[in-house]
Each structure stands twice: as structure tokens, then as C-alpha cells.
Structure 1
Amino acid sequence: MIRVLALVPFVLLAACKPPASDEYVERSRIVPRTEGPSEPLDSPDTTGAIWAPGARPDRLLYGKPGERPLMAIECIHEAKASSIAYTRFAPADPHAKAVLALIGNSHVSRLKIDAVETDGIWIWQAAIDAVDPALDVLTGTREVEATVPGAGTVVLNPSQLPGDLIEQCRAQAAPAASENSAPSPREDPA
């Protein structure tokens, strides 16, 4: 009986807590549930995938013939420079930013890549100056692994086509660079 009487103050103390009310809502901040990043995608099977010319000149698509492409690279010519645009055709979270890791051909490169909305779908895209040495990873003839966190790893099967496209793009950028760096002719005082 003494034990039961000893518990009475604790029971009474617990009964003193008021029920939930609107006052508690006003005193505490209600934060809407924020969604985290999407679930990571599995790496696609690239057995039989190849590089092939796209519909636009200076563009290559990578994937299995007859299926949706996995990646693309394209030479973009601008007034004073050329760049290589690269796309990873995988769903991206809106406004996300990431790094495309490329490993192969005795190189390791990390290229910035952003989620870009195209026709209502968010995919990974970015561009880099064509003469940037980070692109050397794609100029060899060995396998390259291309990884975007959450979008899996795409194994780029060996091909000379990406290297040829990059070298052609660099060559087209070179005349503009050499024109800007050419010394100005001296005037001959008469």
C-alpha cells in the first residue's frame, strides 16, 4: 500500500499537463516536410552501346542502337571560342548541381554538371571550353567510366569518335585564339 501511495504524486503531476491546443502551434514552428534527393538510379547496362553521329553536325550520341541515348557530346562554336557541351540523359532533381566524374585513358577528370530543364524534363547538362585539358579523358581509345552521383555510372565503350570530335573542335577554336594573340603590325615611321 505504501508503494501505491508513493506513486500518487507522480500520477497527479502527469495529470497536470494540459492537452494540446492552438497555443502550442503558435509557440512552435511548423516546418513543411522537405523532400530529399531522388532515389539513386542503377547504372545502365552498356553492353553493345556505341558512339554515333547525331542529327546535328558536330554532335555524338552514346547508347545502344535503337534505344534512348545515355550521353551526348557536342562542339558548340561561338564568336571567339568553341566549347564541348555534354549531356547525361538521366532524370535530375530540379536545380541540382553535381560533378561528372570521368575515369579512363590514363586520366581522371571532374566536370561540373547541372540539372537543366528541357521540354519539362530535368536532365544533366553543362559545357566546357574545348581546349580544357579535362577533356583529354575522352580523347583516347580505351573505356571510360562516366559517373553522376545518383544517376549511376555509364561505361563508355572504346571509340575514336569522341576524341576526333574534341580535336576537331579544338582545331576550330585555335584560329580564333591565334588571331587574338597575333602581334600587331608596327607602323613604319616615314
Structure 2
Amino acid sequence: MAALLLAACQQQPAAREETQTQRIALADARAVHADAIPSPDTKAARWRVRGDGQGIDFGDAGQAPLMTLDCAIGDGEPTMHIIRHAAALPGQSALFPVIGNGMRSRFLADARLADEGDAGEWRWEATLPASDPQLDVFAGNRPLTATLPGRGMLEIRASRIPGEFLDWCRKSGQVARPRQSEDDGPTG
């Protein structure tokens, strides 16, 4: 028995030599992250219909948009893209709450690389079927707040444009024809 204990003790120092501690600086162990930015001033910002009619941008005239609602109409169900134009890093995800019109919606936004036309911008994007009831936060004409953690809050003044755009997208881009008279039923 003593021989077994002696043999075990002789092997223990060899095991200690194999496991070595490695020291690293605390700064090197931290994950890379983007710095928080303050909320942008949106007093003069407005919704604008994009030239192609497939989206609306919120921001100051003549400046890059702060937020975009984009509608993709294809063979299947229309898709709505909510884009928050703020710095993002690859692989990031966040909940993007939008509050207004009597609703609180939380959209899962991921960092996505924009198309080439946007100069390789990494931005936040949430994609949903246009029929998703969470999008009803844009229906109506009350003010909205849209907060992206670390990227500030957008205070969006009341406008009918987001609701009309959502309705247009849900109808796959079909525009209802106006009634000819009060007696006519709904058309389109």
C-alpha cells in the first residue's frame, strides 16, 4: 500500500508542470463593443416617401435617415423591414422597442450589412411579415418613440405616413380606388 501512495506522490509534480497559468491584461479580455451615442435631435425630422415608393425614411431633410420602414413585395406575403440607421457591429442583436398609438412593440433587431449603395453601413434591422400585429404600432397618427439600447431614442412626431405605408404594404402595393359616390361600396 505504501508503494502505491509513494508512486502517486511521485506523479503529482509532473501533472502540475503540465498545467500552467497564463496571465492576460483585463483590457484584452473585454469584448469589443460600440460606444453609446446620445439621442439625436429630431425636432425638425419628418417622414419622407423614398423615390422608389418602396419605403419611407424618417430624418432631417437633406440628411441621411435615422430610421426607415421598407416594404418588400414579391410572390409571397409582403415583408416589412424596420431599419435603424445607427452604428452596429457584426453579430450584435438587440430588442428595439417602439411605443405609440396605444401599443408597445419590441422588435428583435440584428446588425446587418447594408447594400452597396449605402457604402457598407452596418445597421440595425428587424424583418417581419407585413401582417405581423406588432407592426400596428405604426398604424395611427400619434407620436412614436423608438429606442435602441446604446443608440438613443428617436422621438417621432405624429404623422399619418407610417400608417398609410403599412396599409399599402399589407395590400401588396395595391391602391384602393376611390368611391365614385357615397352609395358605392368599398372597391379595390
TM-score bracket relative to the smaller structure: 0.7 to 0.9
1:104-144: CA deviations, max 9, x gaps?
Answer: 11000001110012243311112111011101111110110
Which region of structure 1 is more displaced relative to structure 2, 111-120 or 95-104? 111-120
Q: Matched residues, percent identical?
A: 30
Question: Could you tell me which residue of structure 2 aligns to residue 133 of structure 1?
Answer: 133
| Aligned ranges 1:160-179 → 2 under 5 Å | 160-172=160-172
Distance in 1 separating the partners of 2:107 and 2:131: 14
* Cα distance in structure 1, aligned partners of 2:106 and 2:126: 12
Contact between 2:59 and 2:65, CA under 8 Å: does it hold in 1?
Answer: yes
Q: C-alpha distance in 1, partners of 2:149/2:60? A: 22
Secondary structure of 1:137's counterpart equals helix
Distance 1:58 1:120 in 2: 21
Q: Does the residue aligned with 2:122 lie in a helix, a strand or coil?
A: strand
Distance 2:37 2:70 in 1: 25
Residue number in structure 2 paired with 1:49: 45
Task: State the distance in 1 between where 2:54 and 2:89 align.
Answer: 28
Cα distance in 1 for residues equivalent to 2:21 and 2:102? 56
Aligned-partner SS, 2:170: helix
**1:149 matched to which residue of 2?**
149
- Aligned partners of 2:54 and 2:113: how far apart in 1? 22
**2:22 matched residue in structure 1:** 29
Aligned length: 152
RMSD of the alignment, in Å?
2.2
Work out the CA distance in 1 between the residues paired with 2:23 and 2:69. Answer: 46
Please point out which of 69, 94, 98 is paired with 2:94.
98
Q: TM-score, normalised by structure 2?
A: 0.74
From 100, 107, 117, the counterpart of 2:103: 107
Question: Does residue 69 of structure 1 match 2:72?
Answer: no
3-state SS of 1:44 partner: coil
Give the drift of 1:36.
4.1
Distance of aligned partners of 1:57 and 1:144 in 2 relative to their CA distance in 1, 3 Å threshold = same
Kept after mapping to 1: 8 A contact 2:34/2:87: no
The residue correspondences of 1:176-187 to structure 2 (distance < 5 A) are none
Letter in 2 for 1:154: L
C-alpha separation in 2, matches of 1:41 and 1:27:
42
Structure 1: runs of 5 or more not aligned: 1-22, 175-190
- Is contact 1:146–1:155 with CA below 8 Å preserved after alignment? yes
Which stretches in structure 2 are left out of the alignment for 5+ residues? 1-15, 175-188
Q: In the alignment, does 2:36 pair up with 1:40?
A: yes
Compute the TM-score of the two structures, normalised by the length of structure 1: 0.73
